[in-house]
Structure 1
Amino acid sequence: MKKRTGKKRSGDDSAGQVSGKIINITKKFMRAWPLPAPDEEGDKEERGRVLVVGGAPGMPGAVVLAATAALRAGAGKLQIATISSIAQTVAASVPEARVFALPETKAGAFTAAAAVEIAKRANSVEAVVIGPGMIDENAVARLMIKLIPRIKLPTLIVDAAALAVLSRSTKILHSLQGKVVITPHAGEMASALGIDKEEVLKDKAGIAGGAAHDFQAVVALKGSETFIVAPEGEIYCNRTGNIGLATSGSGDTLSGIIAGLVARGATPIQAAAWGVYLHGR
């Protein structure tokens, strides 16, 4: 699935990127693939740390949902980086978190200069969620372009408005060396690839596989059937989703769950598969 200047990328380009059979996620299968268990003698540091980056005027709830989900999924410590105008509201809503207020544009988006401070915080945690509640896709893309090369240690979970940066280049995430999970729905996947949503829906497994290979990221292509694919082609299908998840804040919660699972020691593909499964239960 190579990018072609001036032309849409066809869904057919994604074919052949899925290796082996699709593994259906079931209770029996998940019992055989247990999540890392916390040390009963451990402390909150050993349970892992999560940073959630997001928020906008009138939308503090998205970052609150993601942050709360990360804690409930098992993270031991939580930080939130959000724009200065809503930082106090977020801090009051998530008293467990350390909240950092960062500079914002007149429209309420993060400034590109915030990337330096975010990277500083990010490189002291195990997992970073970026995207919930963010606005102005161009501003978010500028932030991501400055931020990604500075990310050295954590696994990055990219959701919502932050997914818009994927349309700029298939190589934008390569420096993360596979330590990244993207969580698009069909519309966001289509926008990232420059194809029609209908093409995505016709071959979700193939499209997800091609995207995972090209972006070098774990892809969780959301829907009533969610396909979770590793860059190497390992693929899972989850069917615990339902129409009840098609609601505001649902995706924010999923991204937080995945981050919490990464923080407690799961690999990106295991965290994504387990996160999607638990989210649908």
Structure 2
Amino acid sequence: MSQATSIDAALLRRWPLPDPSGGDSKEDRGRVLVVGGSRQLVGGVLLAGVAALRAGAGKLQVATVQEAAGTLAGLLPEARVMAQESADDGGLARLDRQALELARRADAVLVGPGMEGGAATRQVVQRLLRHAQGTAVADAGALHPSTPKARAGSARLVMTPHRGEMAALLDVGIGQVHAAPDELATAYAREHGVVLVLKGPTTWIAAPDGRLWVNTGGSPGLGTSGSGDVLAGVIAGLAARGATPEQAAAWGVFLHARAGARLSRRFGEVGFLAREIAREVPMLMQDLSGGAGA
């Protein structure tokens, strides 16, 4: 069993993100494709997309159900929004050729915000991950035991379950996850070749080679609707900039937690909104980078 390394500011300063100052255009900071949403749940895609940009990604593309695409385009003018066919239950039925080609060209692909589980969702996730060539982040509705098996040969995968989702992935009781989260995360990452972010008040990050990190900071206020979408977006944005999957996960978890702590001091321990978390990220990155900026 690997000993966990605590994530703190000192660790991240020794593990700096790619420096964005030498880039000439938005293309140099990477492309993110966010895939998700349904007729009832488009907000998660919005939160994740904004978070990816706040983390420093240069270009944002979004694929969501056709009924929500127009609304999302108005709320997210920084993004290219592609309308996709919806299923009878309101979720994504399939992805068109353009979306799959953008997945192949993207530096990071995030799938799952606003998606609910089901056969159609699994098919969308599997097809998308077969096309992804960069780092893929699977969150929320994209988390399923079949997800790690769907990757193309060169795709690198980050999975971000909370404890209930981890229990479902392993087909065990949630009590088993609470009892040994570090051991289960490490074993899952090794077996499936993924970076596993097991979310909670204490978050464990396991890499395929056995390395393990732990983050204990944050705020109870982070347990709010949409907070996980923001975290997934931050991780995808950092990966698009060139961070390795495990680095993007460690930085993303720490930034998310530190943003929650800042908001708690400003608004109170609970009651701040998920949409407010990503606004804290650029200055937090700058502080950790010694003023280099993001």
What TM-score range do you get, normalising by the shorter chain?
0.7 to 0.9
Which aligned runs of 4 or more in structure 1 are off by greater than 4 angstroms?
none
Distance 2:22 2:170 in 1: 44
Q: Is residue 177–residue 216 contact of structure 1 (8 Å, CA) maintained in 2?
A: no
Structure 1 stretch displaced more, 65-74 or 103-112: 103-112
Aligned ranges 1:71-220 → 2 under 5 Å: 71-112=53-94, 114=95, 116-151=97-132, 153-164=133-144, 166=145, 168=146, 172-173=149-150, 175-177=152-154, 179-220=156-197
Q: Which runs of 5+ in 2 are unaligned?
A: 259-294
Q: Which runs of 5+ in 1 are unaligned?
A: 1-17
Q: Is residue 66–residue 252 contact of structure 1 (8 Å, CA) maintained in 2?
A: yes
In angstroms, what is the RMSD of aligned CA positions? 1.6
* TM-score, length-scaled by structure 2: 0.84
Higher helix residue share: 2
Aligned length: 258
Q: Is residue 178–residue 231 contact of structure 1 (8 Å, CA) maintained in 2?
A: no
Percent identical: 43
Distance 2:108 2:239 in 1: 6
Partner of 2:21: 39
Q: Is residue 115–residue 143 contact of structure 1 (8 Å, CA) maintained in 2?
A: no
State the 1:174 CA deviation.
5.4
Q: Output the amino acid matched with 2:141.
A: A
SS in structure 2 of the partner of residue 180 of structure 1: strand
Q: Is residue 129–residue 151 contact of structure 2 (8 Å, CA) maintained in 1?
A: no
Q: Output the amino acid matched with 2:44.
A: A
Q: Output the amino acid matched with 1:279.
A: H
* TM-score, length-scaled by structure 1: 0.87
Partner of 2:38: 56
Q: Which of the residues 203, 227, 235 maps onto 1:250?
A: 227
State the 1:186 CA deviation.
0.4
Partner of 1:221: 198
SS in structure 1 of the partner of residue 60 of structure 2: strand
Q: Output the amino acid matched with 1:130.
A: V
Q: Is residue 167–residue 177 contact of structure 2 (8 Å, CA) maintained in 1?
A: yes
Distance 1:258 1:74 in 2: 10
